[in-house]
Chain A
Amino acid sequence: MWWRRTLSRSCRWCLGCRHSGAKRIWSFHYRALRSAPAVPAGRITALQALDIWKRHFEEEGVTEAEQSSQYIIAHLLGAKTIESVERQRLTEFLSKEKMEEVWQLCSRRLSRMPVQYIIEEWDFRDLTLKMRPPVFIPRPETEELVELVLTDLKSRSADTETRQTCLEVGCGSGAISLSLLKSLPQLEAFALDRSQDAVDLSRENALRLGLQDRLRVYHMDVIKDAERILGLFSSVSALVSNPPYLFSEDMASLEPEIFRFEDHAALDGGENGLTVIRQILTLASDFLLNSGRVYLEVDPRHPPLIQRWVEENVEGLQYVETQNDISGRPRFCILQKAVT
C-alpha cells in the first residue's frame, strides 16, 4: 500500500465531557485518541476510501465498520446509500477537497460518534431529518409506532369533519409529529420537550419540511410543568410518546455511541424505567377526547407492569393492547380514555 499509517497512536490531553446524572461535567483528562490513517498523498477513488476506512474502523474496534464508511462516503457523494451511487462515481478519483472531507468525517467516527450525528441527518419513514447532538436519534422501532397512530387517526377522520389534533410528549428531533403531519394533511400537532436543543431542532425540521404551520413545539417538562401543560392541551385525538424508558441501572452499559453523545435525559426512565411513562398516563385523560388513545413506545419488560399499574391507579384510562415491534419484542402500549 502506498499510503502510510501514522506510526504511533497519539495520546493527548483533551477537554472532555461526561454525564453525571443530568449534569454534564467538563474536565481535563488523559485519553488515548484514536488516530486516523494518514491522508493519502496521491489520489484515490471512493471505493478505495471505503476500503481504507472500513479496515481502519475494524482495527480500532468501531462497530458497523462497513456501514459507517458507506453511509459517510455516500453522503459526501450526495447520496443516501452507497448502493445508489453510480459505479462510475465510485471508481473515479476523488478530488483533493472531497478526500479531505472524507477523512474529516470518518475521523469523527473513531470517537464512536454516531453516523447520524456525523452526517447531521437521518431518515425516518419518508422524511429526512436534521440530526444534532445531543438530541435523541430516532430508532427504527419508532417508525412502527407512527404506523399504529396513523391507522387509528385515519379511521377516526372518516367519521368527523373537524380538524384532528395530536400531542407528542418528548419530541426530540420531531420525527413522530412530523411524520404524522406529512401523512395526514388535516392534522395539527402539538409537541413538547424538556430540552431546548430538542425544541429548536424540532422547529428547524418542521421548517425544512414545510410543516411549521401545523406543528407547535413547547419547551416544557411533563413532570415539572404539569400544571401549565394541563391548561394548554385538551381534546386531542391521540397522545403519542417515545418517552425515556431505559432502567437507570442499564444506563452505564450503553454502547459509547449512545452514552457519550445522546442526551441521557432522553433515555433514563428512572427506576424500572417508568417515571416519565407514569406521569404521561396520569395526565393522559385530561388531554384526550373521549375514546382518544395513548400510544407509547416502551421497554419490552413494561407492558404487563404498565397494564397492572394503570388498572390500579388510573381511573380514566383502559389498557387496550400490546403490539410487538419488527424484532418480535413487546414494544408498544395502547390505552384508551374511558368514556365519561
Chain B
Amino acid sequence: MSLLIPFTRCLLTVTGRLVRRSAPGLPSLTPPAPSWVAAAGKKELPDLPVVPEEELEEQFVRGSGPGGQATNKTSNCVVLKHIPTGIVVKCHQTRSVDINRKRAREIMRERLDVAYKGELSEVMVKKKESELRKQEKRKRVNENLERKRLFKKTLAADTHIHNKPEDDAV
C-alpha cells in the first residue's frame, strides 16, 4: 500500500523557500516560506511528515486580471498539489484564503502520512483506536442492558410469587 518513497525524504525539514508559479513573462521571485510553515504541525498528530514547500504546487484562482484591489471575489478555494506523489488537496473550509492554505497543508500532511505509512499512519492508528473504544463502549452498554433485563426478570418472578397472576407485568 505504501509508495516507494523513502521515509528520509519526508523527514526533511522545511528549507525556507517557497516556490510559486509565476505569471507568464514575469521573473520567478521566491518569497521566503511563510513563518507558519515552519511551525506547522497539529498537536494531536506530531509525527506527520514535514513537507518541504518545493514539493508543493499551490493554486488560487483570482482571475486573469491584475487581482488585488481591482478584483473583489469571494471564492477562496486553495488547491495544493504534492508534486512527487501527485496527491491533490482542495480546501475552502473558511472564508480566509490564508487559513485555507494552512488547513490545506495540514490535510496534505495527513494524506501523505497515510500514503507513506498505510496501516501504520497516524490517521489510521487514531481511527483504529477510536473504533476500538466504540466497540468497548457498545459491549459495556449491552452488558449493562442484559444485566438490567435479568434483574427485572428476577423481580417480576418474585412479584409473581407474591401477587395474583393477572398483576403480572414483564
State the A residues within 8 Å of B (CB).
63-64, 67-68, 71, 80-81, 83-84, 114-116, 122-126, 136-137, 139-141, 143-144, 146-148, 150-151, 154, 242, 244-246, 250, 254-255, 257-258, 262, 266-267, 297, 299-300, 322-331
Q: In the bound complex, what is the Cα–Cα distance between A300 and B26 (angstroms)?
A: 10
Within the complex, which residue of A124, A139, A326 is in contact with B60, where a contact is CB–CB below 8 Å? A326
Beta-carbon contact of B60 and A116 below 8 Å = no
Q: Which of A81, A267, A299 contacts B92 (CB 8 A)?
A: A81
Q: How far is the CB of A72 from chain B (nearest CB, A)?
A: 10
CB distance from A217 to the nearest CB of B (A): 21
Instruction: List CB contacts (< 8 Å) of B6-35 with chain A.
Output: 20-23, 26, 29, 31-32, 34-35
Most chain A Cβ neighbours within 10 Å, of B26, B31, B62: B31
B74 interface residue (CB < 8 Å to A): yes
B101 contacts the other chain (CB 8 A)? yes
Number of A-B contacts defined by CB within 8 Å: 126
Inter-subunit contact B67/A80 (CB<8 Å):
no
Q: Are A330 and B98 in contact (CB-based, < 8 A)?
A: no
Partner of A267, one of B29, B69, B76, B93: B69
Bound together, the chains give a CA A68 to CA B96 distance in angstroms of 16
B97: interface (CB < 8 Å): yes
In the assembled complex, the CB of A258 is this many whole angstroms from the nearest CB of chain B, namely: 5
Chain B residue with Cβ nearest A70: B74
The 10 A-B pairs of least Cβ separation, nearest first, read A140-B97, A123-B95, A143-B98, A323-B31, A328-B22, A123-B96, A151-B35, A326-B60, A328-B21, A327-B62
20 other A-B residue contacts (CB within 8 Å) besides A140-B76, A143-B96, A255-B72: A63-B73, A64-B75, A81-B93, A123-B96, A125-B98, A126-B96, A136-B69, A140-B96, A140-B98, A144-B34, A151-B35, A154-B35, A244-B69, A246-B70, A262-B72, A300-B23, A328-B21, A329-B23, A329-B68, A330-B26
Instruction: Please report whether the interface of chain A is mostly helix, strand, loop or mixed according to DSSP.
Output: mixed
Q: Which of B21, B36, B72, B75 has the most CB of A within 10 A?
A: B72
Contact A116:B71 (CB < 8 A) given known A151-B35, A326-B60: no
Main secondary structure of the interface of B (DSSP, over half): loop
| Closest partner residue, chain B, to A148 (CB atom) | B31
A323 to B28, CA, bound (A): 10
Q: Is B86 an interface residue (CB 8 A)?
A: no
Check: B94 CB closer than 8 A to any chain A CB: yes
Could you tell me the distance between the alpha carbons of A299 and B79 in the complex, rounded to whole angstroms? Answer: 24
Q: Quick one: given A324-B22, A326-B20, are A331 and B68 in contact (CB under 8 Å)?
A: yes
A contact residues around B35 at 8 Å (CB): 147, 150-151, 154
Q: What are 23 A-B interface contacts by the 8 Å CB criterion?
A: A63-B73, A64-B75, A81-B93, A123-B95, A125-B98, A126-B96, A139-B67, A139-B69, A143-B96, A147-B98, A154-B35, A242-B69, A246-B70, A250-B70, A255-B72, A258-B72, A300-B68, A324-B22, A327-B23, A327-B67, A328-B20, A328-B23, A329-B23
